[in-house]
Amino acid sequence: MSDNIVMENKRVLDLLFSYMPKIAAERKMDNLLVLMADMGRSIVMADRCSLWLTDEEHGELWTKVAHGVSQLRIPIAAGFVGWSVKNGEPLLIDDAYLDPRFDHRSDEKTHYRTTSVMTVPLFDSQGKVMGVFQAINKQGDQKIFSSQDLERLSLTAVYSAKTVESARLTSAVEDSKDELEATQEELIHILGDVSESRSRETGDHIQRVAEISYKLAQYYGLPEMEAQRIKLAAPMHDLGKVGIPDAILNKPGRFTDDEYEVMKSHAIKGEEILLKSKRDLLKFSALLAGSHHERWDGKGYPRGLKGEEIPLAGRICAVADVLDALSSPRCYKPAWPEEKVKEEFIKQRGFQFQPELVDVLVEHWDDIFECFRQARAKFEAAAV
């Protein structure tokens, strides 16, 4: 992966973190839609970005966030956005006027010239299309949107759909502190998915690490609020992998010494990204991201912390992360047998892992390991 791509990934993450607190704190629907459209426009470098919402009662799509224009309403089946509503699929168009699905009416009303277009549908929690993100006219040297732009607008659409649905349910977003925290939590999981999508590991990895960390924290005796905080932060543990080249991240064989040093840098990279936020939950996530590869015996990285010098959240996530790594197939190895996994943790008690956390894991092994048994059973059933 080139330095330009690494820098671009960092730019996108910085934008997400800069918009997240503004969106989480906003109460008015109109302002929310403007913020989300601005976020989408900045991320994909479009001239204009609009968030169209469905109005099924009137059979229309409407937007208040087309930049520089007032509210627009079009028939629900009109144009590219109407096509995405009907089909539930995105579009990537190089020249709108060469596509018969293009609805000229918006251009005629605004005296604007549309060329390149992207549309991405927004789905509610029931899987129904509730609106469409539309980006128009790519800016910069490249005059057409790329598949990478489409992926990034899709990421923005997932977060925006959750936010819009929440706003609708709470009547103009007069929500409580819990609602604001839920918005932050949603973004954390989405960003965790972004970091995982760059590797060939199973997409369920971050969810399993979060759930296992939560169970370990509970069984260790932490208060429920603290256990929940660790569960919410755990999906961000490998965020720094966005800055690791693909050739290293997905290498099937052993790393060279230089490659291993690059790979180890993901802990610090993730910590640095998360520390830019003013949100307590994301600062806590930074602590976890920067410490989950430390070892109890002081031989870990990036700082060589030892014993209780390592934050407890990092110690817990380290157990969950390695448990998933050993118990799941990866690009460089098959899943280990269950008994071999347990033996490895017992062997590393007091070396790689805090002794008490290994004791908790072994004592509650059946409950914690059950998710891997179910995954293996499904895989074996599908293979028959």
Query: What residues form DSSP beta bridges with 117?
Result: 93, 136
pLDDT of residue 193: 52
| Residues 181 and 282: beta-carbon distance below 8 Å | no
CA distances from 167 to 13, 47, 65, 172 (A): 24, 27, 16, 6
Tell me the whole-structure pTM to 2 decimals: 0.56
pLDDT of residue 2: 63
CA distances from 48 to 69, 114, 139, 142 (A): 10, 10, 10, 15
pLDDT of residue 294: 97
pLDDT of residue 86: 94
pLDDT of residue 384: 56
pLDDT of residue 196: 52
pLDDT of residue 327: 94
* DSSP notation for 60-100: EEEES-STTS--EEEETT-HHHHHHHHH---EEES-GGGST
Which superfamily does 28-174 belong to? Answer: GAF domain (3.30.450.40)
Domain with CATH 3.30.450.40 in the chain: 28-174
pLDDT of residue 363: 97
Q: Is 202 exposed, middle or buried (0-12, 13-18, 19+ CB in 10 A)?
A: middle
What CATH number has the domain spanning 183-383?
1.10.3210.10
| Residues 46 and 56: beta-carbon distance below 8 Å | no
Nearest of 82, 81, 49 to residue 66 by alpha carbon: 49
Domain with CATH 1.10.3210.10 in the chain: 183-383
Residues of the chain with pLDDT under 70: 1-3, 27, 65-70, 169-203, 379-384
Provide the 8-state DSSP code for 241.
G
| Residues 101 and 79: beta-carbon distance below 8 Å | yes
Measured in whole angstroms, the distance separating CA 153 from the mean position of its chain's CA atoms is 13
Which alpha helices (H) appear in 122-221, and where do they start and end? 147-169, 177-197, 205-220
Per-residue pLDDT tens over the stretch 171-205:
433 443 454 455 455 555 555 555 554 444 444 77
| Residues 188 and 281: beta-carbon distance below 8 Å | yes
H helix or E strand, kind and range, residue 373: helix 365-383
The C-alpha atoms of residue 363 and residue 361 are separated, in whole angstroms, by 6
Token pair 């939590």 is at which residue? Answer: 185
Q: At what angle do helices 312-327 and 280-289 cross, to 10 degrees?
A: 60
pLDDT of residue 172: 37
pLDDT of residue 81: 93
The C-alpha atoms of residue 315 and residue 321 are separated, in whole angstroms, by 10
H helix or E strand, kind and range, residue 274: helix 266-275
The C-alpha atoms of residue 10 and residue 242 are separated, in whole angstroms, by 8
The C-alpha atoms of residue 293 and residue 347 are separated, in whole angstroms, by 18
The C-alpha atoms of residue 111 and residue 124 are separated, in whole angstroms, by 33
